[in-house]
Amino acid sequence: MRIVIAPDSFKGTTSAVEAATSIAEGWLEVRPHDDLTLIPMADGGEGTLGVLAAAVAGAQTRTVRGCTGPDGRPVDGRFVLLPDGTGAVELATTSGLPLLRRLNPLRAHTRGVGEVIAAALDAGAHRLAIAVGGSASTDGGTGALRALGLELYDSHDQPLADGGGALAALARIDRDGLRPPPAGGVEILSDVRNPLLGPNGAAARFGPQKGATPDDVAILDGGLARLAQLSDGDPAAPGAGAAGGTAFGFATFWQARITSGAAVIGDLVGLDRALRDADLIITGEGLLDDTSRDGKVVGHVAARARANGTPVVVICGSAVTTAWAPIVGVLALTSLAGTQGDARGQVQHWLRAAGAQAARNADEYGAIRRPR
């Protein structure tokens, strides 16, 4: 049998590369003669650079020292330069939520990711893919764009402070010094479709997880509305609210295209080519829920498998939704381990156990040899 193993990372516990390896080890304990292809996946969140570096031959990982972290402290950033000239940037490496010593929803910013983007362009990238998951801020991407030359002023013609809380005082935008986007274009890789503003927008939907109180949410939403008012962007565009409105900022000022991170990553790592001859596909993520179908790795892999008529098994940390076609089985690590604590504490062990269980269930899943 030919098996493709294409999981996302299990957030907070293991990378996609590690998850794929452990699942494969478990499968081979039961069916050692099967042909396994490992395609670690990502959807624009944390771990995207690791997936690309592992999957794309000739990819070069570059470190950018002394970038500005989301609270102003220095951090080291990274980007991956692909052989086709694409520079892949992951917002979370310089502007991610875990980099904060304490949550600061009004002042946290994205300046560091702009510094990494500048370094990628200086290194010769002529196309950019920016993975925006895991943001610490709600600044509309203005920190990153200011690092690239955009200027923001208040009504006294003084430069604004960084952070989404300052945007309410925005009176003038100066684009004259903004570095132009690369000739090959810019793609924003996201797994959400939220607009910029309103009850389902960047501030209301994602601000609380970044520490925003209801009053903070109102300030942040108002600041983003002011940014939209003084620019020519579309705040209602699907995905404009990704990463605290970073997607809106780059779509507006750099003509970036907001797209499915899972679809772009799948193309870059050759997912469709691997699926073409597969008898069974195993994918996975930390939590299988209703959002998994729309923009997440599991949903994208299942959609591509459905096009080939290939059964899919999902291995997840926990599940709060039922399977849908072509998913024929769900194995939750919490069920195998007995408790969530045990599943998280020994995640590689339980991923191997899940891989072995999937192999024992192969006939039940209908993963029979198809004519070739």
CATH number, domain of 203, equals: 3.90.1510.10
pLDDT computed for residue 29 by the predictor:
97
Quote the strand ranges of 57-134, DSSP E: 60-68, 74-81, 86-90, 127-131
Residues 227 and 318 in one domain: no
Quickly state the pLDDT bin for 321 (edges 50, 70, 90). confident
Residues 120 and 256 in one domain: yes
Q: Are residues 54 and 168 in the same domain?
A: yes
Distance CA(333)–CA(35), nearest Å, equals 24
Residue 370 falls inside a structural domain: no
Flag whether pLDDT at 10 surpasses 70: yes
For residue 332, what are the domain limits?
A: 2-39+270-360
Q: Tell me, yes or no, whether 366 lies in a domain.
A: no
Contact 164, 138 (CB under 8 A): yes
- Tens digits of residue pLDDT in 231-287: 989 999 999 999 999 999 999 999 999 999 999 999 988 999 999 889 999 999 999
Cα separation, 271 vs 265, whole angstroms: 8
Query: Are 64 and 170 part of one and the same domain?
Result: yes
On whether both 75 and 208 belong to a single domain, the answer is: yes
Instruction: Report the alpha-carbon distance of residue 252 to residue 224 in Å, rounded.
Output: 13
The single residue listed with the structure tokens 């399977």 is 323
DSSP summary character for residue 294: S
Number of domains in the chain: 2
If 0-12 CB within 10 Å is exposed, 13-18 middle and 19+ buried, where does residue 215 land?
exposed
Residues 103 and 231 grouped into a single domain: yes
Q: What pLDDT, on a 0 to 100 scale, did the predictor assign at position 323?
A: 79
Residue 370, pLDDT > 60, answer no
Q: Which residues pair with 5 in a beta bridge?
A: 38, 282
The mean per-residue pLDDT over the stretch 22-44 comes to: 96
In this structure, are 125 and 99 located in the same domain?
A: yes
Please state, as a whole number, how many other Cβ atoms lie within 10 Å of the Cβ of residue 347. 21
Between CA 92 and CA 113 the distance in angstroms is 8
Neighbour count for residue 203 (Cβ, 10 Å): 30
Which of 6-20, 108-122, 143-157, 208-222 is predicted with the least confidence, judged by mean pLDDT?
Answer: 6-20
Does the pLDDT value for residue 368 go beyond 70?
Answer: no
The Cα 225–Cα 167 span in angstroms is 9
